[in-house]
Amino acid sequence: MASAEPLNGVQSVETGQSVKAGVREYLAISKTGIVMSNLITTFAGLYLAAYYTGTSLGSDPLTALLTLVGAALIMAGGCALNNYIDRDIDYKMERTRERPSVNGQLTGRQTLTYGLSVSLIGAAFLALTTPMSAVIGVAGLIIYVVLYSMWTKRTTTLNTIVGSFAGAVPPLIGWAAIDPGLHPYAWSMFLIMFIWQPPHFLALAMKRADEYKAAGIPMLPVVAGFAVTKRQIVWYVAALLPVSLLVSDFGVIYTIAACVLGGGWLILGLAGFRMKDDLKWARQMFVFSLNYLTILFVLMVIVHMF
């Protein structure tokens, strides 16, 4: 392995040097946890599009495979490119300082090449389903890499909103692979994910406020404080409850579950105004948000199976 020299306080490697890197390092910069979570919503869009167009994924398994693999690759590529862009600040944050793109396990050139290559392959796979699916995937990639990572993340508290556009496209990718016309249900799923993301990421930002401050990232808790952030989170959660019912046609079971999940999250959010431990509340809100999204989108599929 080439010798590493300290750069910006971390162990980095000059771009022109070669570094031995294994599958583990590339998986790490792909953020596989995020990819897997988003694949749930991609599959929901894919499955529901097949259901409402009167087709079956079983009759065309290749389309399903290309969609899921393509979406996974384009999301992994976007995450890798985000790691490449953030190399100069990731070392300042405890949760990111051990990324292979930061600690010298991967060079900048390796990270960039991997991110671009995987993104292009993913877009090509999606194009083999429908052009619209590929267009949506590439649009989400551009928003995440250029508008979010390269621009708004470091300049404005609105970075969370910009990132939410990119984070909400997975169900559209899945739906467009079957139905490029994008039924209103597809846009409702997009809207659910769009509104869900600010309270999810603002709770994370509260947990990591000191790290974001050290890295110079203007997250809302850093710029405006916890009180303002808590109010913003509760407003988003309150808005999500009626938005989740835009697809109440999915049936009684879905509707009840959406009301219970949304109502429970809102009650927990309102309880935060009386809790003295803001970080404990933020952790609870963050965990609830993960469970909320997973349960809701898995349920969307289940209620259409029977």
Give the model confidence (pLDDT) of 36-85 as tens digits.
999 999 999 999 999 999 998 888 899 999 999 999 999 999 999 999 99
- Rounded Cα distance between 39 and 30, Å, is 13
* Phi, then psi, of 91 in degrees rounded to 5: -70, -15
Domain closes at, from 135, 166, 182: 182
Specify the 3-state DSSP secondary structure of 189.
helix
Rounded average pLDDT over 184-188: 96
pLDDT band for position 174 (cuts 50, 70, 90): very high
Q: Does residue 95 register a pLDDT over 70?
A: yes
The whole-chain average pLDDT of the chain stands at: 91
Is residue 92 within 8 A of residue 211, CB to CB? The reply is yes
DSSP string, 207-262: HTHHHHHHHT---HHHHH-HHHHHHHHHHHHHHHHHHHGGGGGG-HHHHHHHHHHH
* Phi, then psi, of 59 in degrees rounded to 5: -80, -15
Q: Does residue 151 register a pLDDT over 80?
A: yes
CATH of residue 45: 1.10.357.140
The answer on 173 and 28 residing in a single domain is yes
pLDDT at position 239 is 97
The answer on 193 and 170 residing in a single domain is no
Number of domains in the chain: 2
Q: Does residue 4 register a pLDDT over 80?
A: no
Residue 125's contacts (CB-CB under 8 Å, 6 or more residues apart) are 66, 67, 69, 70, 73
Rounded average pLDDT over 140-155: 95
pLDDT band for position 5 (cuts 50, 70, 90): very low
Domain closes at, from 158, 182, 206: 182
pLDDT band for position 154 (cuts 50, 70, 90): very high
Indicate left, alpha or beta for 225 from its phi (over 0: left) and psi (-120 to 50: alpha): left
The answer on 136 and 29 residing in a single domain is yes
Structural domain harbouring 239: 185-306
The answer on 293 and 161 residing in a single domain is no
Rounded average pLDDT over 262-268: 97
Q: Does residue 223 register a pLDDT over 90?
A: yes
Q: Does residue 242 register a pLDDT over 80?
A: yes
The answer on 254 and 299 residing in a single domain is yes
**End-to-end alpha carbon distance in the chain:** 56
Q: How many CB atoms lie within 10 A of CB 58?
A: 8
The answer on 51 and 158 residing in a single domain is yes
The answer on 177 and 202 residing in a single domain is no
The answer on 259 and 132 residing in a single domain is no
Domain closes at, from 151, 182, 213: 182
pLDDT at position 96 is 82
The answer on 289 and 167 residing in a single domain is no
The answer on 274 and 150 residing in a single domain is no
The answer on 121 and 16 residing in a single domain is yes
- Rounded Cα distance between 74 and 144, Å, is 11
Q: Does residue 10 register a pLDDT over 60?
A: no
Residue 201 vs residue 14, higher pLDDT: 201
Residue 62 vs residue 7, higher pLDDT: 62
The answer on 94 and 210 residing in a single domain is no
pLDDT at position 224 is 96
Residue 98's contacts (CB-CB under 8 Å, 6 or more residues apart) are none
Query: In the chain, what percentage of residues exceed pLDDT 70?
Result: 93
pLDDT at position 20 is 62
